[in-house]
Structure 1
Amino acid sequence: MEVLVMNRIRRAVAAALLGCLLPVACGDGGLEPSSCPEMAFVSDQDAEFGVYDIYRTFKPCDFRRLTAAEGRDVSPAWSPDGSTLAFVSDRGGGAGVYLMNAVDGSGVHRLATAADLWISRPSWSRDGRALAFAADWSGNVDISVIDPIGHGRGGTGLDRLTTHPARDFAPTWSPDGRRIAFTSDRDGGDSEIYVMDADGTHQRRLTNSPGRDEFPAWSPDGTTIAFVRASGGLERVWLMDSDGGSQTELTPDGGDMPAWSPDSKSIAFTDQVRGRREIFVMAADGTGRVQYWIKASTDESDPIFNPR
């Protein structure tokens, strides 16, 4: 046991000093370095204060910085074939949705104007032919969809799915491509989770809590939606059936930005550690929580698994 503890301490120190992506057990689970998952995430470790870049991991346990522009690059979203990352950035002024090569960060180009840096959160349809995000329509924040190569029904490449005067944001596609779950504060001011058909019809509410419910993430097997519930000054990851039933708290001590593994067996999320945001992975039932230590003095957030 003493040897095991010392090995974990050495890995943590190496991570802090060298910037290596090494997992450190935090709770009832532990992973060896060879088991690091492939994911993209956001970090400020190689940038000035307030500047965030997109990184990705490579097996067995390496990582690479993909963006290095002035500004903040956040909310990465992997295309279904694993070749492309969409993300939101305020580079050049104003929030926008961008695409880039998922291997080396090349080919960065702006796809559309986004509503806000923190709530737009792009999501790919399973066939890779549509990207949903929150767009600003003359001051109204609505769920919109664009073909990644810019072909839309409206002639501008962008289709508007919601038109409510309240904010509609943070969409997530169902795996079968028939529905989109999203966040809205249309009923009473507190944000809740809603779902609609992929064409914007049949909108209905899935949650109704005293706090904020937001940032849904649909499981790849289609049965479950992870989301963030904020109450009592703390954000926590919750699960519910795709129809809104069986709502269950997974992270009583805190957590946000949930993202599913391709096999629907694990969930990555972000939580606060000593005042910094760090990445964790847990089983889909909330057990086996493991922290992925990047650097002790930096923020890491917005994890998302490689779907391939």
Structure 2
Amino acid sequence: MSRLSLNDLFRIAVPGDPQVRPDGGAVAYTLTTAEKDADDNRSEVWLAEPGHEPRRLTGGPADLAPRWSPDGRTLAFVRPVDGKPQIHLLPMDGGEPRVLATDGAGPPVWSPDGRHLAFTAPYGEAQAHDPVVADTLEYKADGAGLLRDLRAHVVVVEVDTGAWRRLTEGDFHAGEPTWSPDGQSLAFVAAMEPDRDLVPGGAVYLVDLDGGQPKRLTEQGVTCTGVWWLGERLVVTGFTGEPVGHTRLFALEAGGLVEIETGLDRNVMVGAPGYPGAPPLLLGDELLFCARDGGLTHLFDLDGRARVGGELGVSGATAAAGRLAYVAAGPGSAGDVYLDGRRLTDHALPDVELFPLERRVFTAPDGTPVEGFLLRDPALKQPGPLLLDVHGGPHNAWAPVFDGVHLYHQVLAARGWSVLTLNPRGSDGYGEAFYTAAIGAWGLADAGDFLAALDDLVEEGVADPDRLAVTGYSYGGYMACWLSATTDRFRAAIPGGCVSDLTSMSGTSDAGHLLKTFECRGDLAAQSPLTHVAGVRAATLVLHGERDDRCPVGQAEQWFAALRERGVPARLVRYPGGSHLFILNGRPSHRLDYNERIVAWLEQWVIGSQS
């Protein structure tokens, strides 16, 4: 057995999007790997069934969103053709997949009778060289770039003939559609208000299969974020009031939306890159949903009982024929496919021995308990260097599962480091009061959580107070800047995808207005690390994607320039083409470089400086 190396990035396989066959006997899923020679991520569709080795169904390299036909005889999936995602149909009794839709497509949704597929597709006429004209703040989106007049709309295609028709049009983005039980209409979420870029909005709409004007089904009071027809009722996710609290479950009744009581003070998680979860689903007649509890995303019933829990973190789930399929990560694997609790795949690296994560609870200065996870070699008996790594969000959370993104954690542990991943107030999984505790108080309400944990680890003899470092990404990058500017605790700091100036961020980020208005309300200058940059003494490595529209690269440029002007040892690394999520799904060479640079910087400025 060997320890994890950074090059193991190219051996890690991550399953996702599990889709149980209608008879409940097998699970189709995607499997994503990183290809070194092509410097790209590869995604294929695979099939897992009890008693058989998993087998590949499609050859990739970018196959996504497998969806079973109601009779289970055909598998639809999305594959790019000439750069545009298209729906393909794979006959399960043999044969090659055929292209069904040719105008760009999102994940397909089968009609109950199997005669149609619905999906969203982008529409717009502006060319890449045309001037970008913006009348609202919705003119760009991280990962997509400048939107111009592109809008996502609902499309339906006939399976037999390939004939398709667009059901919606207008200046709005339609969310993923869901079929009515009779197959005669589709529901979707959209924000159609003129000022939706200033005031968060989202309502459920219904459009007939034959087209026509969508009918609004929900009124003010709940901002809807997703909708699914589960059995005979529409289940909706959304939030009440301002968009700063937990996402909740609702059912659309005759009198409007009625909240579905979950028995939990937890945030409903429907799944997104970096935010594990799954849409709500029916297992028989029972409604299940995902929520994060103490860092791990579990699958719950409406009595608040975890149907999939323990040390597993769920990142996708579906049900059919009374059987439950899901993908979950654990301490030794970035993800495996399960069917009714039986593991069908094994994606743990067989020849790699991982250091275990120790769950810890620290006490903040005001007495609030704060959970974290300590990674270190159990054989270490003396104080050593420690890296504090801060998660993003701020409403995300670290989980005690194998981390295939932050590989440097295990590599540093093998070199005698301790790595602390803490879930401070603002983190998800600890109740709504904790979730909202840092609203309007970034750097003020949360910084003490980190420092108190460090004090405890120093006092315990785990951490050497002269060999501390801090890193983090997004909000974590903000906190790496803030802590290095407002304390002298750290010898090195590595902000990634950082936020250094909330004032300029509010006018340049694709989410800047929402951040300013609802998350960081108040004195933006006082909460900005740039205001306090004169206090930085830590050697600082700034890592940033050049096409980051969530935390624009100017945030990194400002921080680097301010440090350089003050003579602080600093380096700026920009990753061409990298969006905000490049450390999750960007070029493998960039992800490897990101990990390598963190290790090298820490060894140079924390370890090397001690000799």
Q: TM-score, normalised by structure 2?
A: 0.36
Secondary structure at the aligned position of 1:96 is classed as strand
- Which residue of structure 2 aligns with residue 12 of structure 1? none
Does the Cα contact within 8 Å between 1:225 and 1:242 map onto a contact in 2? no
Indicate yes or no: 2:44 matched with 1:53: yes
Matches within 5 A, 1:278-293: 281-283=299-301, 287-290=305-308, 291=314, 292-293=327-328
1:262 CA drift (Å) = 6.4
Matches within 5 A, 1:217-236: 217-219=228-230, 221-227=231-237, 231-232=243-244, 236=247
Indicate yes or no: 2:137 matched with 1:125: no
Does the Cα contact within 8 Å between 1:123 and 1:131 map onto a contact in 2? yes
Does the Cα contact within 8 Å between 2:224 and 2:236 map onto a contact in 1? no
Question: Percent identity over the alignment?
Answer: 24
2:157 to 146, 149, 161: 146
Code of the aligned partner of 2:165:
D
Matches within 5 A, 1:193-212: 193-201=204-212, 203-207=214-218
Residues 261 and 248 from structure 1, CA distance in 2 versus in 1: closer, same or farther, beyond 3 angstroms? closer
- Whole-angstrom CA distance in 2 between matches of 1:287 and 1:134: 35
- Whole-angstrom CA distance in 2 between matches of 1:18 and 1:103: 31
- Which residue of structure 2 aligns with residue 13 of structure 1? none
Matches within 5 A, 1:1-308: 38-44=26-32, 50-59=41-50, 63-71=54-62, 73-90=63-80, 92-102=82-92, 107-113=96-102, 115=104, 120-138=106-124, 139-151=150-162, 157-187=163-193, 188-189=195-196, 190-201=201-212, 203-207=214-218, 213-219=224-230, 221-227=231-237, 231-232=243-244, 236=247, 238-241=249-252, 244-248=256-260, 250=262, 252-256=266-270, 257-258=278-279, 260-261=281-282, 263-267=284-288, 281-283=299-301, 287-290=305-308, 291=314, 292-293=327-328, 296-298=332-334
Code of the aligned partner of 2:307:
R
1:246 CA drift (Å) = 1.2
Does the Cα contact within 8 Å between 1:227 and 1:258 map onto a contact in 2? no
1:195 CA drift (Å) = 1.8
- Whole-angstrom CA distance in 1 between matches of 2:307 and 2:107: 25
Structure with greater Cα Rg: 2
1:146 CA drift (Å) = 0.5
CA displacement, residues 140-164 of structure 1 (integer Å, 9 cap, x when unaligned): 421111111234xxxxx11111112
Does the Cα contact within 8 Å between 2:121 and 2:152 map onto a contact in 1? yes
Deviates most, 222-231 or 177-186: 222-231
Residues 128 and 178 from structure 1, CA distance in 2 versus in 1: closer, same or farther, beyond 3 angstroms? same
1:239 CA drift (Å) = 3.6
Does the Cα contact within 8 Å between 1:44 and 1:300 map onto a contact in 2? no
1:37 CA drift (Å) = 7.5
CA displacement, residues 160-194 of structure 1 (integer Å, 9 cap, x when unaligned): 11112211230110111122111223224344322
Code of the aligned partner of 1:263:
G
Does the Cα contact within 8 Å between 2:14 and 2:335 map onto a contact in 1? no
- Which residue of structure 1 aligns with residue 574 of structure 2? none
1:127 CA drift (Å) = 0.7
1:217 CA drift (Å) = 1.9
Secondary structure at the aligned position of 1:175 is classed as coil
CA displacement, residues 41-84 of structure 1 (integer Å, 9 cap, x when unaligned): 3342587764333334424697444333122x333322111122
- Whole-angstrom CA distance in 1 between matches of 2:205 and 2:166: 16
Residues 272 and 98 from structure 1, CA distance in 2 versus in 1: closer, same or farther, beyond 3 angstroms? farther
Structure 1: which 5+ runs fail to align?
A: 1-16, 22-35, 152-156, 304-308
Secondary structure at the aligned position of 1:141 is classed as strand
- Whole-angstrom CA distance in 2 between matches of 1:46 and 1:273: 30
- Which residue of structure 1 aligns with residue 494 of structure 2? none
Residues 226 and 206 from structure 1, CA distance in 2 versus in 1: closer, same or farther, beyond 3 angstroms? same
Does the Cα contact within 8 Å between 1:169 and 1:183 map onto a contact in 2? yes
- Which residue of structure 1 aligns with residue 137 of structure 2? none
Residues 61 and 212 from structure 1, CA distance in 2 versus in 1: closer, same or farther, beyond 3 angstroms? farther
Residues 199 and 223 from structure 1, CA distance in 2 versus in 1: closer, same or farther, beyond 3 angstroms? same
- Whole-angstrom CA distance in 1 between matches of 2:283 and 2:102: 29
Structure 2: which 5+ runs fail to align?
A: 1-10, 16-23, 125-149, 271-277, 309-313, 315-326, 340-611
- State the structure with bigger RCO (CA 8 A, min sep 6), 1 or 2: 1
- Whole-angstrom CA distance in 1 between matches of 2:45 and 2:155: 23
Code of the aligned partner of 1:41:
Y
- Whole-angstrom CA distance in 2 between matches of 1:124 and 1:40: 15
The structure carrying a bigger helix percent of its residues is 2
Residues 286 and 272 from structure 1, CA distance in 2 versus in 1: closer, same or farther, beyond 3 angstroms? closer
Code of the aligned partner of 1:246:
V
CA displacement, residues 233-291 of structure 1 (integer Å, 9 cap, x when unaligned): 87x4624136552133657234114153463425465979979xx7x544366643314
Residues 294 and 197 from structure 1, CA distance in 2 versus in 1: closer, same or farther, beyond 3 angstroms? same
